Amino acid sequence: MDVLPPDRCLPFLITIDGESSNYINAALMDSYKQPSAFIVTQHPLPNTVKDFWRLVLDYHCTSIVMLNDVDPAQSCPDMVVGRRWMFLSRAQAFRATFLRCFFCLISVIFHLVFLFQPWPFEQRGAHEIREIRQFHFTGWPDHGVPYHATGLLGFVRQVKSKSPPNAGPLVVHCSAGAGRTGCFIVIDIMLDMAEREGVVDIYNCVRELRSRRVNMVQTEEQYVFIHDAILEACLCGDTSIPASQVRSAYYEMNKLDPQTNSSQIKEEFRVSCG
């Protein structure tokens, strides 16, 4: 109740017969030189789950980022591969099939396929199929921030690489859709800004986000963490290596620079100790 978006930033749900409201507690956010690239919202509650999926479908979103440590089944009941579930109203229905999930060290990717069709189902020929990925970051503790920024940086890059360029806004939420959500979005924007302009402006980015939704980047600890993450990204870049290229990459990293008498692998270890 204390995280309410201003009217100018509200995404409105499509009004349909049988629905009494087009309101949802969410806010549209700009990315780096891209308007309305994010939709920030709260974690779906039992009484808002249907509205959450209306939001995703109305705005043609293909990716959802979840940053809190809550069971994803709260928003996707019976999350078992091959299981179908639906949300139903007097005017429309969402049927979905859960295809598969991918487990990483600190994240899970859930791959959903939606069959979106009007109610009643006897109306043939009017349906649409959409694929949606839900990225769940599990490495953020209940209190504080992650101990290292490396995992979140890899997660941000993973989300960016797997999100189609012409899709709708990226839906991002934690519990209230404020602190952790703000950190994710600021890091995403600053990575793009650093790559394209060679500068970052964390302060003004946070100010702009907070003008659209209160408590975006909620604590000083989170604000410091953003700086740590951007510093690591600028110093180290993307250190991930495809498994098929580990042998050749390791060989290159061990080559000594005759001028410094050092190697890339030694420099990486030195930076990691700092």
Q: Are 55 and 26 in contact (CB under 8 A)?
A: yes
Residue identified by tokens 């579930």 is 85
**Mean of pLDDT values over 223-248:** 91
pLDDT score, position 81: 45
Helix axis angle, 220-236 relative to 179-197, nearest 10°? 30
Average pLDDT, the chain: 83
pLDDT for 122 beyond 70: no
| Residues 6 or more apart in contact with residue 60 via CB below 8 angstroms | 130, 167, 168
**Mean of pLDDT values over 260-274:** 84
pLDDT for 159 beyond 70: yes
pLDDT score, position 98: 66
Among 198, 199, 222, 200, residue whose Cα is nearest residue 210: 222
pLDDT for 116 beyond 70: no
**Mean of pLDDT values over 123-136:** 73
Q: Domains in the chain, start-ordered, CATH in brackets?
A: 7-239 (3.90.190.10), 241-274 (no CATH)
More confident residue, 174 or 93: 174
pLDDT score, position 80: 45
CA 63/CA 169 separation, integer angstroms: 8
Q: Are 229 and 152 in contact (CB under 8 A)?
A: yes
pLDDT for 189 beyond 90: yes
pTM listed for this prediction: 0.83
pLDDT for 57 beyond 50: yes
Number of Cβ within 10 Å of residue 204's Cβ equals: 9
Number of Cβ within 10 Å of residue 238's Cβ equals: 10
Among 228, 215, 232, 211, residue whose Cα is nearest residue 181: 215
pLDDT for 117 beyond 80: no
More confident residue, 242 or 120: 242
DSSP H helical ranges for 198-260: 202-212, 220-236, 246-253
Which of 31-40, 54-63, 64-73 shows the lowest mean pLDDT across its residues?
Answer: 64-73
For residue 272 the two structure tokens come to 């990691």
Residues 213-228: pLDDT tens digits?
Answer: 999 999 999 999 999 9
For residue 175 the two structure tokens come to 């519990």
Instruction: Give yes or no for a cis peptide into 120 (omega within 30° of 0).
Output: yes
CA 56/CA 171 separation, integer angstroms: 8
Among 189, 197, 195, residue whose Cα is nearest residue 226: 189
Residue identified by tokens 């809190």 is 68
CA 48/CA 87 separation, integer angstroms: 11
| Residues 6 or more apart in contact with residue 221 via CB below 8 angstroms | 144, 145
Among 42, 33, 9, 11, residue whose Cα is nearest residue 179: 42
pLDDT score, position 90: 40
Residue 23 identity: Y
